[in-house]
Structure 1
Amino acid sequence: MINLKLTEKFFLIILFCSLFTSFLFKSFINNELISNILVAFNSLLILLFIFLSIKNDIAKFLIFIFFLLRVFLLYIDYYGKAIVSILHSGGDTERFYIWGMLISKDLSLMNEITYTRYTDFLGILYWIIGDQRLFSQFINVILGTWSIFVLYKILDLFSFKDSKKLFFLAIYGLYPQNIIFSSILLREGLIQFFFIYSIYFFTKWVMTNDRVNMFKSIIFVLLSSLFHSGMIISLLVYVYIFLFLDVKKNRFNYSLKRLSLFFLLFGMSFAVIANDSSILNGKFSILQTDENNQSLIEKYQSNSGIEEGGSTYLKGYKMNSAVDFITFVPLKLIYFILSPMPYDVRGLGDIIAILIDSSFYYFLIYKIIRSRKIVTTNFRIFPKIFLILFLTVSLGFALGTENSGTAMRHRAKIYPALIMVVVLIESIKQNKKSIWDGSKII
């Protein structure tokens, strides 16, 4: 069992103390020295916390390894750039650092540098702690490790054998993209941290029908969408489920009252977006009108090929009608989730990408297909909910994604939702009627 409240207090305290220490001494001590001291000291505290707070010896060892891998990769990325290049580290990470430092010297630049809220976050962070890139990356290590505790707590909610919990803990903590995004200066680690918290509170809402958990899940989804507007799609899925799922009867209820509320909320959202399309932040510009009155297909064709490169996929596909577009969307979704495809391998880079990324999705989707009867029959509505969540958000990202590298970054944000589908399937298979501790589902 994981004491999540204790975990939250621990990580919040070390973050606050580190920020306060940096703020006090940034003008007197070399910033890189402060960062190394803070990383070393906090690492020792985190390792101690892992050994004291985790009861299961194998889980303790796994989380210990997960944390060390993240710290190791942190130092490789920070000090070894000239020797080895970490996947995803380069263009965006350097821009985030440069823009963050610029904003830290003049906070009014937040209104001018609007690429992403992550630059604002880094600007405020560097204003507090000074030029401490190493420690700013270590914050991602902390959040990545914290996320592992949250996932373990989610697994504690289910009636599982320890071996099953350890299996799911391993495929989350050892997922190479999670390790990378927990170690380099990108926003993905922060986004997934908020998203997995939303899943935790959403799962608790499904279990207890407690509205407090419903509102908490909404808050954490909104926090994740601050750093990438594409995550707002998960909020739409949550709201749909909150409105129509009758958790007492384990079925959807499309009553007139619920439908009226849904259309009211939909109308209000549409009015807000229509009045200020910048809310979409350009992420879904393909769905916005333009001065040339282009059709959806024409807009897609004009946008295609912008990110030309070896990893670009489906670039030879031609669309001449709405039927073509409808046919094309599922292909985009499949390539988004699974690319690079084995038959598109161009060299060692694609083979590595398949091994450290696509193979995890192959495996989880294989588990889902193999257990498809559980997903499609009787009271087994819960795996469907998380499958809808994963596929809907994936589709939103897929429409704006043209290459394998970008797809790998985006799908990593919502990887926990796919794991949850398999978690629910395995719990149903093991327990038949009770999929989580102390709560029957029929």
Structure 2
Amino acid sequence: MALPFSGVDAVNFERFAWEWSQSSLSDIVTNIDVSRSYLISSITAIFYHFMGRDIVIPVFINGILGVLIFYFSLVLAKEVWGRSGFNKLFAVIVALHPVLNIHSAVVLRENYITIFVIAASIYLAKFAKNSSVYSAACFFVLVLISSFFHGGIILYAAGLPLFMIFGSSKIKGVTKILAGVAFAAVFAVIITTMDFGKLSDIQQGKLSVEYLAQLEANRQQANTAYLVGMTPSGIHDVVWQAPIKSFFLLAKPFPWDVRSFGHALLLLDAMLWWLIIFLIWKHRAAIKSNPAAFAILISCLITIVAFAYGTSNFGTGIRHRTKFVVMALALVSPFLPRVRFSLTSR
């Protein structure tokens, strides 16, 4: 029932969808739980209820989402840099990205997460340029919907108040601080009043150095584990380890980690991230001077650091970093090599 790279999650998502589909429609709808990881199962269950169990249904939905991801990625790149900064190679990479395409062919929630994060990023870019309350509200709502599929994504919303405080030049002085605090307060209310399954321990006040250390110990059992033994013993360790863990989340596997064909495919994805990291660093001044790009960068960095502390193997890391690959590519779109495509023949 599952294609390569989908793992046990895809099997479970599909199995629960079939089990739930045998209930009445009202039971399926009323039992939808947006605080856990199985919203995709509830959505699939509704279709199964009417159409019967057919793996083509959730795969078809993910395929449609994959097409929309490609379309909205083009919208995002143009929103951030304008038409003059749009690069055809950006479109080609997004269209042919192997992991994005795999996510469109398996029963995983990744495409649901990605489509809403990209849409949210479009409105974040709009807000960075026009400071519209409507754009800010759309950004928060879309991030919230994406977080229904994975609770950790809610942290992406923290980028907006941080951008208002540290990056926005359109809002000045006390107004900037008050607006930033107001949006931060909204974010805090959402975090404290809603149940985000993946963040439940943190929401219950369990976040501590000891908690992070235990988290590391529990997640370093896979054969793709990295940074084994790097557990924080104090707050200073949390600070200096954050960029290292984030880099490993994005950059693994290294060539010497490849032990199978699957690892080789992941290496190609890692090489793309090496290029993205290099281009962001090389053109950091241009990105900083572009409000839309800088706002998206802040949101991405916050969430990537959070996922880096929740992941200790590149088998899982590949799925997490792919959630942000479109935004990362959009940030460096103007700096990718320029290529020309022609279908004409002589």
Select the residue among 152, 177, 191 that pairs with 1:259.
177
Partner of 2:53: 131
Give the TM-score of the pair, scaled to structure 2: 0.83
1:265-344 pair list within 5 angstroms: 265-267=183-185, 269-270=187-188, 273-274=191-192, 279-283=195-199, 285=201, 288-290=204-206, 296-307=208-219, 308-344=221-257
Partner of 1:101: 18
Amino acid corresponding to residue 270 of structure 2 in structure 1: S
Q: Offset of 1:149 from its aligned partner?
A: 1.8
Q: Please give the root-mean-square deviation of Cα atoms over the aligned residues, in Å.
A: 3.1
Q: Structure 1 residues 358 and 128, CA, compared in 2 at 3 Å: closer, same or farther?
A: same
Q: Distance in 2 between matches of 1:113 and 1:233?
A: 15
Q: Offset of 1:168 from its aligned partner?
A: 0.8
Q: Larger RCO: Structure 1 or Structure 2 (Cα < 8 Å, ≥ 6 residues apart)?
A: 2
1:29-428 pair list within 5 angstroms: 85-87=3-5, 89-106=6-23, 107=28, 110=32, 114-157=36-79, 158-160=81-83, 165-241=87-163, 246=168, 251=169, 253=171, 255-267=173-185, 269-270=187-188, 273-274=191-192, 279-283=195-199, 285=201, 288-290=204-206, 296-307=208-219, 308-355=221-268, 357-375=269-287, 379-423=289-333
SS in 1 for 2:71: helix
Q: Offset of 1:373 from its aligned partner?
A: 4.0
Q: Offset of 1:205 from its aligned partner?
A: 3.7
How many residue pairs match? The answer is 331
Q: Structure 1 residues 358 and 258, CA, compared in 2 at 3 Å: closer, same or farther?
A: same
> What's the CA shift string for 1:296-339, capped at 9, x where partnerless?
22212222232311111112224333222222222211111112
Larger Rg computed on CA atoms = 1
Check whether the contact 1:297–1:319 (CA below 8 A) recurs between aligned residues.
yes
Give the TM-score of the pair, scaled to structure 1: 0.66
Q: Structure 1 residues 310 and 192, CA, compared in 2 at 3 Å: closer, same or farther?
A: same
Q: Offset of 1:197 from its aligned partner?
A: 1.6
Q: Distance in 2 between matches of 1:209 and 1:272?
A: 21
Overall identity of the aligned pairs, in %:
22
> What's the CA shift string for 1:206-246, capped at 9, x where partnerless?
44554433333332222211111111111121344357765
Q: Structure 1 residues 242 and 371, CA, compared in 2 at 3 Å: closer, same or farther?
A: closer
Q: Distance in 2 between matches of 1:224 and 1:318?
A: 30
Q: Structure 1 residues 424 and 207, CA, compared in 2 at 3 Å: closer, same or farther?
A: farther
Q: Distance in 1 between matches of 2:126 and 2:170?
A: 18
Check whether the contact 2:296–2:327 (CA below 8 A) recurs between aligned residues.
yes
Q: Structure 1 residues 346 and 202, CA, compared in 2 at 3 Å: closer, same or farther?
A: same
SS in 1 for 2:69: helix
Q: Offset of 1:156 from its aligned partner?
A: 4.6
Q: Distance in 2 between matches of 1:111 and 1:282?
A: 13
